[in-house]
Structure 1
């Protein structure tokens, strides 16, 4: 499992930043690095008042994802 971990903030309130993540079961870390911006763009389309400051891709174990 791969986690796309990113920091998002409300555009109007920079102090409102939060860690967020998207979990993928069908891609590698390299694929996540290549397509991560596209996935974040899709997320931002659903949440237009948010901005993303930084992001990374990393492998996770299923039990970490369920916690």
Structure 2
């Protein structure tokens, strides 16, 4: 499983940050994740206008490690 992990912070309170993740299917490569990241994050920010993305990365993540 490929994870797009990012840190989202409230624009009004930059110290108030949360770790977030979006998951992709197993057949997606890390390179494809990087290419998809900016449009996906832009869509997320559009849906969550009070936040900004402070950092992000793509990585492999075992299905057993996913958040419940």
TM over 0.5: yes
Counterpart residue number, 1:14 = 14
**TM superposition score normalised by structure 1:** 0.91
Task: State the distance in 1 between where 2:49 and 2:34 align.
Answer: 23
Structure 2: gaps (5+ residues): none
Counterpart of 2:58 in structure 1 is 57
| Count of matched residue positions in the alignment of Structure 1 and Structure 2 | 67
Matched, 1:34 2:35: yes
Q: After the TM superposition, which segments of 4 or more aligned residues of structure 1 sit over 3 Å from their partners?
A: none
Q: Report the aligned-residue RMSD.
A: 1.2
Q: 1:14 Cα deviation (Å)?
A: 0.7
SS in 2 for 1:27: coil
CA 1:66–1:18 in structure 2 vs 1: closer, same or farther (change >3 Å)?
Answer: closer
Q: Which structure 1 residue ranges, 5 or more long, are not aligned?
A: none
